A and B are shown apart, each in its own frame.
With several copies, the nearest count.
Chain A
């Protein structure tokens, strides 16, 4: 496991003239941490590539959602949190979850709807969480996690805990009432919350120009009376810097910050989407000129003095880990049918099987199964 932010060791001594506040926080990252950022991005990409292979083998149940080209946004922002902090990821924040301690094995089991997956087969893809490790799983209705994270961080404030929350929102999801109510509530209650708008150009097929007339999502900050910052979402260190400052701001009791990260969704909304609505050459240009991994590797091997083989070692490590996790996940069993009745309430602890299921075993083994998936684009 790569070092986490807790084990910060300053990479270089402070510049004499600049005050601590002016200098980008990333300048204090250790060499291990610099490499860790790359590791998490690579692990994200390798894991998603493996998921594509499994999807093609029809081993994934339901849709597959990629964050290709957005890995820096997830990884850089989550890396700015302490372990005790809590984030709420979206469908393209696989990288954030890995940084926060989710394992590839969990992700693989989730996508394959296994009985020992984190939700025991109850929920889709990366919809899961663990408050101990500090992430709370999203639900599909967009925007809802903003009010929820307002409440999570309200509890931090009420209890005087030194903890911060981070919630992501897509460019598209900023149009929901839940986003608006949640960020306004958090702002006026001075909750220690960072809200990151991930502007990846599209909401499904809808370009941002049909989502809002605002020139920038960061322009929404002033309407909530909070600071707003915009950053290059494909520069992992820029993401880390802007997030870290907002996290520190929240931790100092200064309340909510809105961050807009500029990035690009290089894959379709989900794997089935052929992106026919994307102007020609747009995807290729982003791939060629603005891949977050390529860009970061250049800095690692350039200004930070890592060697190509340092980088390759990380790639190799990611591959080995994903291979091992895949083998383990594939061997996992499906959930037991009766588990479906457990835990809707704390009390009663389980629902009763309905009367027409008296011969339960038989009902389950002889049930019909759909001939194929009715939809390939569930999200």
Chain B
């Protein structure tokens, strides 16, 4: 363990990794609100499988950084119960893939509690998500589509360190359950400057990651970076001006930002790492159709993973997941439509 471990310093104004940004958000919110506590498997002394919670238990004690049994149903249910009583639990899934085990508790109990029983569930479920890391079918999932479909749940999926920190703080302060997906490929690869002070990014607001006028790419999480690479390549090679919208929040969707970019470029590519059928791109396409059909100069197109469980070998995973070259090809097609 690094010496930093027991301190969990709060930076601000400095360049830190996506992972450190998450740890800082946890640290700051636990400091400022005694109702915030963390629970999960191996998050205490060990600091979690990815070391996101490293140092938290040393700082806040085992009562507030709680190692649980391997019981995703119980973790989520207990968070809801504690939430009813005014606590603000943050539950870590060791890998987000295991959120499937708590699907009933999340969609049936937590999501409906306020509506049917006027009971608040101010809680966050967070965990390492996504592929490109040779994790195979059960350590690479992007479970957002299974949850944006559920009224009562919010879903957040940041792509930068600044957003990771600011959105997690907003999620912890939100009075409803927020699923906070962390892209594990970005944990230690992305670092950027996080504003000093109490940096909170509002839930429900997208971000323009790159301005452009010819074609829009709407995406989130790890593929934001691929979209930016593709945009640069298309500027260099084709002279195309590509706008990249980073959704940041998947539920509720930022319709305004989506419609604004459609009206601006009239050509939209939706890009996600999740499998194609039933992925969130369909929902966005429908919203664009309903609200901005007249602005479309070309069909809304999707670049997504193939509809297969994510395989493990590099050659297979790379084929199944969307790559920059795919985005380039798709944008060229849209621009030429």
Contact = CB atoms under 8 A, between A and B. Distances in A.
A adjacent to B, CB under 8 Å = yes
A370 B100 CA distance: 27
A62 B314 CA distance: 10
B238 to A, nearest CB: 16
Given A113-B312, A211-B70, A337-B319, A119 B117 contact: yes
B330 A122 contact: no
A370 B46 contact: no
A298 B254 CA distance: 67
A347 interface: yes
Contacts of B135: 62, 374-375, 378
A151 interface: yes
B77 A337 contact: no
Interface string B129-171: 0001111111100000000000110100000000000000000
A61 B134 contact: yes
A82 to B, nearest CB: 16
A122 B316 contact: yes
Nearest to B46: A205
B181 interface: no
B293 interface: no
Interface stretch (B6-14, B24-32, B183-191, B256-264): B183-191
B285 interface: no
Contacts of A137: 116-117
Contacts of A346: 114, 120, 174-176
B45 A277 contact: yes
Contacts of A328: none
Interface string B100-130: 1100110011001011111110000000100
Contact of A370 (B120, B133, B276): B133
B69 interface: yes
Contact of A155 (B87, B154, B306, B323): B87
Interface stretch (A128-136, A226-234, A253-261): A128-136
Contact of B81 (A128, A150, A355, A375): A150
B115 to A, nearest CB: 5
Nearest to B176: A345
Nearest to B89: A151
Given A158-B87, A185-B69, A276 B132 contact: no
A158 B303 CA distance: 47
A122 B317 CA distance: 9
B49 A377 contact: yes
A307 interface: no
Contact of A151 (B77, B112, B312): B77
Interface string B35-71: 0010001101110011000000000000110111111
Given A152-B84, A178-B105, A276-B46, A336 B315 contact: yes
Contacts of B196: none
B114 A123 contact: no
Chain B interface size, under 10 / 10 to 19 / 20 to 34 / 35 or more: 35 or more
A278 B136 CA distance: 29
Nearest to B77: A147
Interface string A124-155: 10011101000011011111101111111111
A115 interface: yes
Contact of B97 (A141, A175, A204, A347): A141
Contact of A139 (B69, B138, B314): B138
A369 B314 contact: yes
Interface in A205-238: 205-206, 210-212
A303 to B, nearest CB: 40
A313 interface: no
A340 interface: yes
Given A177-B101, A364-B318, A375-B133, A141 B74 contact: no
A152 B85 contact: yes
A106 to B, nearest CB: 13
B320 interface: yes
A153 B71 CA distance: 17
Interface in A350-374: 351, 353-359, 362-364, 366-371, 373-374
B281 to A, nearest CB: 12
A142 to B, nearest CB: 6
B73 interface: yes
Among A154, A182, A357, the most chain B Cβ lie within 10 Å of the Cβ of A154
A76 B82 CA distance: 27
B198 interface: no
B112 A139 contact: yes
Nearest to B132: A370
Contacts of A374: 132-133, 135, 184-185, 187-189
B152 to A, nearest CB: 5
A378 to B, nearest CB: 5
A375 B50 contact: yes
B232 interface: no
A121 interface: yes
B307 interface: yes
A12 B195 CA distance: 69
Contacts of A188: 69
Nearest to B110: A148
10 contacts: A131-B85, A140-B136, A147-B77, A152-B85, A334-B313, A335-B311, A337-B318, A354-B326, A362-B325, A374-B135
The 8 closest A-B pairs by CB, nearest first: A147-B77, A151-B81, A121-B313, A151-B78, A374-B133, A175-B69, A140-B138, A205-B46
Interface of A: 61-62, 113-115, 119, 121-124, 127-129, 131, 136-137, 139-144, 146-156, 158, 172-173, 175-178, 181-182, 184-185, 188-189, 203-206, 210-212, 276-277, 334-341, 343-348, 351, 353-359, 362-364, 366-371, 373-375, 377-379
Given A128-B117, A150-B78, A276-B45, 9 more contacts: A139-B108, A139-B109, A148-B80, A151-B89, A177-B101, A335-B315, A363-B325, A368-B318, A375-B133
